[in-house]
Structure 1
């Protein structure tokens, strides 16, 4: 007798993989990363500590963190041919499409591309983490006809990334907040982009191909593109009164309000959003523009009252990036750059204990037709 098949739209509730990388414990409001609470990590360690944790199953010593930092700096430079191709891309090309192209081209310079061993995949992860920020920054600079900006090895990883994005050396406070954004975007269990990467990796395709597929997934506004939409909404609203009126108008017209609701966080606020809400307040106290924070709070309150929805990470990450002086079009590419370590960790895990993803369908079409 055939086993009854159950259809789960969007694969809701379907367990697709066993992993020891991360877990979303919604009831306890925890994002577990290899046993640690991500929010607690974000308050006590730095992004490179988290990178090491995801790659090695434990937090690094000071010496190990310094060695990781140096390994990344040794791989910062992107081949000139990659930069030249980025400069040839159409000016109207979306920055996520440019990033996808850049990573794909970069694979051609990878000598270990088809080596799927644990150590080779770790070395490739280091190279990707080192080079993706440079591609993010310079693909955009090429688009707006600005000169290539080279990475600075005298800055920390996060400070260098922010420097390349803005062209200005960041303050310690700016670097701290930006480092936190990289941490909270770094890994989140099995979102669409990570799942896409694992599906690709399950064919034994290479880590660059899996990451390229993840970029395509993350481009969509229902996944990574929401942070840009949030900032556009804040700019359209202009002030507190305008924010409330704009959201009410969108709700009346049955428009989706970006930055609210999450497939996992249905009844509670995304803990990453809470951390970024604090970061926005810290930045406005240093830079001014308190009204931007107040607008976000009003929007949060209106959505909670009207729809029972809570902010997700993108809602408060958007004004953080804005206050840091980052162009809006780069918000989603930064998301991908931060998530590169999480995606690579999943690809490594998939390659280490692989089974090809091959689901079935619930066929609803006709049968027994004849020509």
Structure 2
């Protein structure tokens, strides 16, 4: 195995073929089955993208209604899952509760052994409907609060936010939350998606693949970055305080969360620009633009000092905060949005499968003799 073929972190290694999505960094575009993700997020709904990712095309108006109905019909979380979540310590991180809940769902799937495309499509809708309930109610259970069930009079997107905040979202809040779900729905081959495809390549089931994705997404270098961004903003409290915090971290050579995405090192993450716009609009509507100007100040400092652009998490974090989502649920919300992309990747992997089995560049010793150890002793 030559050192020339070794790429730490598999950087720029092409690991699979896909027709699902592509990051066109040079043109600052995220392609989702041929469409620009930002264009989709501005004009359509998350439900439309569910159809696009799972079926390969945008749904018609009637098909969109059918998708909403399918999600509503699947929205019955088994009592056994609530019992499992209730048995966890109250100190359990929501991502750990989510990982447990997703894994446990497999036991309640009567057609688990059926790995056909049709069965996996049904499984994807089941996960899309149930994961938001696990996200919201695992949090409420840990706080000794009552369960919040989805309402039949709300859309799928509105229900996802309602179950977290316990209040019906306004039309504007639903629109911004729809954009949050859209920008997190799919992003080519990040760590969690790669983990899901690796697991699926063994012909494991979708629940196992997504359980691995949850574990991957929990890390602060991946999904957990949005929580870290918000915690920095809350710690700093003011524009001046955030400027001091960012400059101190840079002086100490600490990583500034929300910057330095491996793909968007020297180019803008188009999703961050959309969330930046949403944050500005929300700030103007509320009359409190403090978080917006804190983020602007931090962005300017990091660009001047390091030449880095913010990624999605940097601006999505304060948007979720203004929507009333607890910081601990930022990464679970990320996963709930990404379920559709993960399901599409798992299905694609199983349709054109090849087991992932890379090799290593060995750096350990050679030639050790057991007989010599025995003789020396």
Scaled to the shorter chain, the TM-score interval is over 0.9
Q: 1 CA distance for matches of 2:157 and 2:121?
A: 20
- Give the CA deviation at 1:267: 0.8
User: What is the aligned-residue RMSD (CA, Å)?
Assistant: 1.0
- Match of residue 357 from structure 1: 356
Whole-Å Cα distance in 2 between the matches of residues 5 and 298 of structure 1? 41
Q: Which residue of 1 aligns with 2:373?
A: none
Q: Distance in 2 between matches of 1:174 and 1:138?
A: 20
Q: Work out the CA distance in 2 between the residues paired with 1:214 and 1:71.
A: 24
Note the alpha carbon deviations across 1:141-171, whole angstroms, 9 max, x for none. 1111111111112101110000001001000
CA contact (8 A) 1:77 1:151 kept: no
Residue number in structure 2 paired with 1:209 = 208
The alpha-carbon deviation at position 343 of structure 1 amounts to 0.4
Partner of 1:117: 116
Determine the C-alpha separation between the residues in 1 that align with 2:189 and 2:271: 16
Residue equivalent to 1:316 = 315
Distance 1:188 1:108 in 2: 29
- Cα distance in 2, alignment partners of residues 109 and 38 from structure 1: 34
Q: Give per-residue Cα distances to partners, 1:76-122, cap 9 Å, x unaligned.
A: 11001111111110111111000000011111000121211110000
The equivalent residue for 1:234 is 233
Aligned equivalents of 1:261 and 1:41: distance in 2? 25
What's the CA shift for 1:5? 5.8
* Aligned residue number for residue 267 of structure 1: 266
> Aligned partners of 2:170 and 2:185: how far apart in 1?
22
CA distance in 1 between partners of 2:17 and 2:11 (Å): 16
Q: Following the alignment from structure 1 to structure 2, what is the Cα–Cα distance between the partners of residues 303 and 168?
A: 37
Counterparts of 1:240-259 in structure 2, within 5 Å, are: 240-259=239-258
Of 91-100 and 109-118, the range deviating more from structure 2: 109-118
| 1:96 counterpart residue number | 95
1:47 aligns with 2:21: no
Matched-pair contact (CA < 8 Å) for 2:180–2:316: yes
Deviations 1:274-312 (A, max 9, x none): 000001011112223211100010010010001111100
The residue aligned with 2:332 is 333
| Contact kept in structure 2, 1:159 and 1:175, CA below 8 Å | yes
State the SS of the aligned residue for 1:31. Answer: strand
**Aligned runs of 1:80-229 on 2, under 5 Å?**
80-229=79-228
Runs ≥4 residues deviating over 3 A: 2-5
Moved more, 3-12 or 272-281: 3-12
Would the aligned equivalents of 1:91 and 1:144 in 2 still touch at CA under 8 Å? yes
Query: Quick one: distance in 1 between partners of 2:303 and 2:196?
Result: 34
Q: Matches of 1:53 and 1:109 in 2, distance apart?
A: 27
User: Where does structure 2 lack aligned partners over 5 or more consecutive residues?
Assistant: 371-377
Q: Which moved more, 1:252-261 or 1:177-186?
A: 252-261
CA distance in 1, matches of 2:288, 2:228: 20
Larger radius of gyration: 2
Equivalent position SS for 2:268: coil
Partners of 1:22 and 1:188 within 8 A in 2: yes
Q: Secondary structure at the match of 1:113?
A: coil
Deviation at 1:3, TM superposition (A): 7.6
- C-alpha distance in structure 2 between counterparts of 1:47 and 1:66, whole Å: 13
For 2:254 and 2:143, locate their aligned partners in 1 and report how far apart those are by CA, in whole Å.
32
Shift of 1:202: 0.1
For residues 153 and 200 of structure 1, the distance between their equivalents in structure 2, rounded to whole angstroms, comes to 35
CA distance in 1, matches of 2:336, 2:359: 33
TM-score computed with the length of structure 2 as normaliser: 0.97
CA distance in 2, matches of 1:79, 1:4: 51
